[in-house]
Amino acid sequence: MRWTGTEEIFSAVKRKYGEHTVSRSAEGLVAEGSQRILAHDEAREYGEGPGMR
């Protein structure tokens, strides 16, 4: 069974930024993933700006 909300977010992030990473260390991978998710959230919030809801 898929977790609908979680799978949708990961799918959207992978569509926008690709699924390949540049980082090699574990810390770098976590940081890169976090940055992608934060960028996705910011873009989504920007698109839902005032008057868009």
Q: Given this model, what pLDDT does residue 2 score? A: 61
Where are the domains positioned within the chain? 4-47
Q: Given this model, what pLDDT does residue 52 score? A: 56
Going residue by residue through the chain, which has 53 residues, state the pLDDT in tens, using 9 for 90 and above: 567 778 888 888 888 888 888 999 999 999 999 999 999 999 888 887 776 55
50 HSE (CA, 13 A, CB side) = 0
**Entry pTM:** 0.71
Report residue 45 as tokens.
């919030």
Helices vs. strands in the chain: H and E counts, helices first? 2, 0
Cα 11 → chain centroid: 8
Residue 18 DSSP symbol: -
Q: Are 14 and 37 in contact (CB under 8 A)?
A: no
